Amino acid sequence: MENKRILRFSLVSSCVHNCRTGTFPGVTPANTQSRNSKPQKARTTAKPAVRATRGPAKAGQATAQNSPIIPSDGPGSEPAFEGIISSYNPLKSKFSLCSKEEWEAVAPVVRSAVGRLDRLADRGMRPYLTAMTRLAVWAHREGMPLNVEVLLSHSMLEAHIATLDSSVGTFRSQLRRLAAANGVLVEATGPGIDRPTYSQPYTLDDVRALLRFATSHSNENRRRQLTGFLLLGAGCGFSRGDLRGVCRDDVHRHNEVLYVRTANRCTPILDVVADDFKAYLGWCGDGPFVGVKSGSNITDQMARWVGERAGLPKLSGDRLRAFFIVEHLRRGTPLIELLAICGFTHAEALDAYLAFLPAPVSPCGSREVGSV
């Protein structure tokens, strides 16, 4: 225990010494300035402050892209920025990223790093400011030096991203672009990055249970929309973008098979829900199957109506679509036809659903070693 205390004290003392002297491992002296150094004498002609420009620079005029980083720890040394870079304040966001004291500590390095981006409007700058602020605040809390080259190095970016929750955006692309703009070489992302996760498909019993709940709902409007949502999702594999505007007039037949057309494709209805679809057409009316207001999230609306009920799976549009795709894969639907009815443009889109297929069984069974 005593050795750990001594080691911790040594590390803290080293960080404090580095912060006071402005010397950090791996950082050239050109990018740091000692806090104990004497201030330079005032010059007779003041140079124009570096500003983040949106248009091409005039001849002889310094821009944020080709100018060096001006140290931010001396009086009057912080460059003057324009627009959102100067007015950005994470304390006013919906979810505060840091405290007031922390923002005062990291603001200079955040503005210095983002200020090197040019030709971006204020709206385009905000994601970079958010990403750099989160990185700088994390480093500040960990006692790391607030230096642009150190913060935007490959190892530092990966260490920061590894601490984020899986439900939080990493802003990896923004951070890598900031590194490039500041002249920091970032290695290519190596293996080990998780692939996107896809929801496990419903079973047929799950779909039946959801349909029984929807068709027995006491509210007529919710009964019509919930049933239509389930039938279009499980029976046609429609995604959120395909659901809006589908009505009874879009249901038709090809060779005695029911199809539903949208602006993008024409999809056959799975036979396991075809009878339910026919019954639904008898009482759904002429309006859209899913008649939620434009701009709202269809899945969230339906999920709130279903809620969490005993014996009933939680409603998910992704799982309904996965049920449709995996069922066609299980039946051996030809690849070209499957891509067309699912709205996919390449076969790699099916890779995520192959894990949910049952293991194939050899038609020949097993054979003994040495048999002819």
Question: What pLDDT is recorded for position 336?
Answer: 92
Residue 61's pLDDT is 41
Q: Which of 249-264 are b and which e, b meaning 16 or more Cβ less than 10 Å from the residue's Cβ?
A: eebeeeeeebbbebee
Query: Is 266's pLDDT higher than 80?
Result: yes
Determine the pLDDT at residue 98: 87
Verify that 350 and 254 share a domain, yes or no: yes
260 & 314 share domain: yes
Q: Say yes or no: 208 and 349 in one domain.
A: yes
Band of residue 71 on the pLDDT scale cut at 50, 70, 90? very low
Most confident of 123-127, 132-136, 199-203, 305-309: 132-136
Check whether residue 304 and residue 167 sit in a common domain: no
pLDDT at 333 (0 to 100): 92
Residue type, 184: V
Q: Note whether 147 and 177 are same-domain residues.
A: yes
Q: How confident is the model at residue 66 (pLDDT cuts 50, 70, 90)?
A: very low
229 with 268, same domain: the answer is yes
CA–CA distance, 289 with 279 (Å, rounded to integer)? 14
CA distance 145 to 149: 10
Q: In sequence order, which residues have a C-beta less than 8 Å from that of residue 287 and are 6 or more positions away?
A: 224, 247
Q: Are residues 182 and 237 in the same domain?
A: no
State the first-to-last Cα distance of the chain, in angstroms, to the nearest integer.
70
Residues 212 and 347 in one domain: yes
Please determine, for residue 358, whether its predicted confidence score (pLDDT) is greater than 50: yes
Question: Please, which pLDDT band fits residue 65 given cuts at 50, 70 and 90?
Answer: very low
Tokens standing for 112?
A: 């210095």
**Domain at 341, CATH number:** 1.10.443.10
Predicted confidence (pLDDT) at residue 211 exceeds the cutoff of 90: yes
**How many residues in total does the chain contain?**
372
Q: Is residue 209 part of a domain?
A: yes
Among 151, 143, 146, 79, residue whose Cα is nearest residue 111: 79
What is the rounded CA–CA span in Å between residue 43 and residue 47? 9
183 and 244 share one domain = no
Strand 266-268 to 251-254 pairing: unpaired
pLDDT at 27 over 50: no
Partners of residue 253 on adjacent β-strands: 258
Cα separation, 166 vs 73, in Å, equals: 35
Query: What is the percentage of the chain residues whose pLDDT exceeds 70?
Result: 67
At 302 the pLDDT is 84
Q: Could you say which of 189, 222, 247 is where a domain stops?
A: 189
Q: Region 340-368: what's the mean pLDDT? A: 79
Q: In the predicted model, what is the mean pLDDT of residues 126-145?
A: 89
Which residues, including other chains, have CB under 8 Å from residue 162's CB and lie 6 or more apart? none
> CA 106, CA 114: separation in Å to the nearest integer?
12
Query: pLDDT averaged over the chain?
Result: 75
- Residue 12's pLDDT is 44
Kindly state whether residue 26 falls inside one of the protein's structural domains. no
- The DSSP string of 133-184 is HHHHHHHHHTT----HHHHTSHHHHHHHHHTS-TTS---HHHHHHHHHHTT-
Question: Out of 69-73, 187-191, 345-349, which region has the weakest mean confidence (pLDDT)?
Answer: 69-73
Q: Could you tell me the pLDDT band of residue 62, with boundaries at 50, 70 and 90?
A: very low
- Give the largest Cα separation in the chain, rounded: 98
pLDDT at residue 296, rounded to an integer: 62
Q: Return the ∠ at Cα 340 (arms to 336 and 342), rounded to 5°.
A: 115
The first and second tokens of residue 299, run together, are: 């899945």
Sheet holding 251-254, edge to edge: 251-254, 257-261, 266-268
Per the model's pLDDT, the better-predicted residue between 214 and 12 turns out to be 214
User: In Å, how far from its chain's centre is CA 226?
Assistant: 28
- pTM of this prediction? 0.47
Q: What pLDDT is attached to residue 157?
A: 86
**Domain containing 68: what range?**
63-189
Residue 340 lies in a domain: yes
Cβ(235)–Cβ(202) below 8 Å: no
Number of domains comprising the chain: 2
Scan for tokens 């992704």, then name that residue: 318
Query: Do residues 213 and 293 share a domain?
Result: yes
Q: Does a structural domain hold residue 179?
A: yes
Determine, yes or no, domain membership for 361.
Answer: no
Tens of pLDDT, residue by residue over 158-187, are 888 888 765 556 778 888 888 888 888 876
What pLDDT is attached to residue 368? 53
Report whether pLDDT(25) > 70: no
Beta carbons of 356 and 326 less than 8 angstroms apart: yes
* Same domain? 209 vs 251: yes
The pLDDT, as a whole number, for residue 168 is: 57
Query: Does residue 230 share a domain with residue 161?
Result: no
Report how far residue 293's alpha carbon sits from residue 163's, in angstroms, rounded to the nearest whole number.
Answer: 38
Domain boundary among 189, 220, 250: 189
Listed residues 189, 216, 231: the one ending a domain: 189
Calculate mean pLDDT across residues 10-24. 50
Mean pLDDT of 35-58: 44
At residue 16, the pLDDT reads: 44
208 lies in a domain?
yes
pLDDT digits (tens, 9 = 90+) for 315-353: 888 899 999 999 999 999 999 999 998 888 888 888 888
Measured distance CA(354)–CA(229) in Å, rounded: 25
Integer Cα distance of 155 and 43 in angstroms: 40
- The answer to the question of residue 198 being in a domain is no
User: pLDDT (tens digit, 9 = 90+) per residue, 74-120?
Assistant: 444 445 566 788 888 888 776 678 888 999 999 999 988 888 887 67
CA angle 314, 262, 325 (to 5 degrees): 45
Q: Which two tokens stand for residue 120?
A: 């971006």
Residue 164 covered by a domain = yes
Phi and psi torsions of 190, nearest 5°: -85, 180
